[in-house]
Amino acid sequence: MEFDEKYNRFFFTIGLIFLSAALPACKASYPKEDIKKSVKKIFQKELGVEPETELIGQTLYVSFPLENMVSQTFELPKEVVQKLEDAMLAITRISLSTDANIQFTVLEARDLKWGVQTTIIRRMQDLKGLMYWGVSKQDFDERLVLETKKIVESSTVSWQDITLPEFMARWVASRISLGTRANPFLGVLLGIEKVNAQLDQPNRLLTLQIEGASTSVVYSTSSLSMDLLKSSIGEQMSLIEKKYPAKSNGKSDQELRDPDWVKEIVVQDPLKKEVMRISKEEWTRSEAKTTLK
């Protein structure tokens, strides 16, 4: 009940922001030239943290410290969930009330004590679709990329403008990762803890690298396990392509994708050894079995 009330309050607030931002006579609350300053000011005020932020092309990045993401109960503490909600509201508020053309928002919550990072990626067009009732609430909830990783001290921050194909690729990897965590049987059977996506757009090639596998499908000779992995990847590819239709549907280019954004998928084990290849024809055959809820 408490979660539902927070969720409803969140979208009521977003609705008010969206309506005010849509009025043509209104001046942008957060001008593009001051957006970094605005982000830092809001995060300092609302969350009490000093964020790092950058607008790269059409992608707004915000990275901020968040303590106690790892607990003894293995659950996110209430105060951590609240801060994540506040951060999502803050970045959305800015993105809807600026004259900058922001298509994607990326939140990076970093727990330096435990060395872990949670990344949340949203597409602003999806949020606007929800506000205009073009996207259902359940569908909107699914259109989220959630990634977790270990923070490597020696690594440098590499922020790049996100394209729709890259977002789709990372969504597929995110869904498979979340699915194996949510279903312990599937996780044990496939031996997958996490899947990373790397998209080679010029060659229309998507590489999915499996992490955390030991005595898993990537080392197994079981055709049943291999078929299950291939089927799971195919279903997610079919689903994401239905969520973001190709250019023949008559919508604006901003909402559409290249019909051949990916022609082949390569699955790799943790040592980057190729496990299997999946052609576009293989996953498009399963489209009739996949329906949007």
Of 157, 161, 46, the closest CA to residue 94 belongs to 46
Look at residue 220 in the predicted model and tell me its pLDDT: 52
Look at residue 180 in the predicted model and tell me its pLDDT: 79
Burial class (CB in 10 A: 0-12, 13-18, 19+), 271: exposed
Q: Are 175 and 236 in contact (CB under 8 A)?
A: yes
Most confident of the ranges 67-81, 98-112, 133-147? 98-112
Radius of gyration of the chain (CA): 20
pLDDT digits (tens, 9 = 90+) for 166-176: 999 999 999 99
Of 102, 111, 96, 75, the closest CA to residue 26 belongs to 96
Look at residue 114 in the predicted model and tell me its pLDDT: 84
Q: Are 189 and 171 in contact (CB under 8 A)?
A: no
Q: Which amino acid is at 193?
A: E
d(CA 68, CA 244): 36
Look at residue 75 in the predicted model and tell me its pLDDT: 66
Burial class (CB in 10 A: 0-12, 13-18, 19+), 282: middle
Domain range annotation of the chain: 2-150, 164-289
Q: Is pLDDT larger for residue 152 or for residue 93? A: 93
Instruction: Grade residue 258 by pLDDT with cuts at 50, 70 and 90.
Output: confident
Q: Is pLDDT larger for residue 8 or for residue 194? A: 194
Rounded to two decimals, the pTM is 0.84
CA distances from 212 to 103, 215, 216, 264, 271 (A): 32, 10, 9, 24, 11
For 261, what's the count of Cα atoms within 13 Å in the CB-facing half-sphere?
A: 21
d(CA 217, CA 136): 35
Q: Give the three-class secondary structure for 268.
A: strand
pLDDT digits (tens, 9 = 90+) for 30-88: 999 999 999 999 999 999 999 999 999 999 999 999 988 776 655 677 888 888 999 99
Q: Is pLDDT larger for residue 156 or for residue 35? A: 35
